[in-house]
Amino acid sequence: MTSPDPATSSWQSMRRLVLELHDRRGAVSDAISMSYMRAKALSQLQPGPLTQRQLSARLMTDAPYTTVIVDDLEQRGLVQRQINPADRRSKLVSITEAGKEIADEAGRITSPPPDVFGVLSNAELRELARMLSLLVERSAQAPD
């Protein structure tokens, strides 16, 4: 069996580090008493209102599931729907102040790096941040 190429190996290590060894989605769900996907929706709405179609694309969910999420968040007073002035056939979903507080709480849980980052020197951390920023920038320019 051959070992994976460096790109595959790096990708597998990043996925394992974030999604297996230091997955904080459960901690977020416990802290806010709702699913992580709802917290993710609130986070996506923090920069500004989105149509449900745009929110579906950002969450990578289908329209019916996004409707379930938005309905629940609206019932909790965390988002509100308004007619989209640019297209009256659609609605904009915007976050409320209460929703922002929950999104901020989720961010406080997910943002701090795991303690294991302490094994890297400041120079190594700067280089890691530089490389990851480059990958994020390029991905935003030309998605898969």
Helix (H, G, I), strand (E, B) or coil at 91: strand
- Helices 36-45 and 97-110: crossing angle in degrees, nearest 10, is 110
Instruction: Give the rounded distance of the alpha carbon of 113 from its chain centre.
Output: 16
Q: What is the pLDDT of residues 104-137, one digit of tens each?
A: 999 999 999 999 999 999 999 999 999 999 999 9
What are the respective helix, strand and coil percentages of the chain, to the nearest 5? 65, 10, 25
pTM: 0.84
Query: Domain residues of the chain, as ranges?
Result: 20-112, 116-144
Domain covering 20-112, topology: Arc Repressor Mutant, subunit A (1.10.10)
| Per-residue pLDDT tens over the stretch 93-107 | 999 999 999 999 999
* DSSP states of 93-120: EEE-HHHHHHHHHHHHHHSSPPGGGGGS
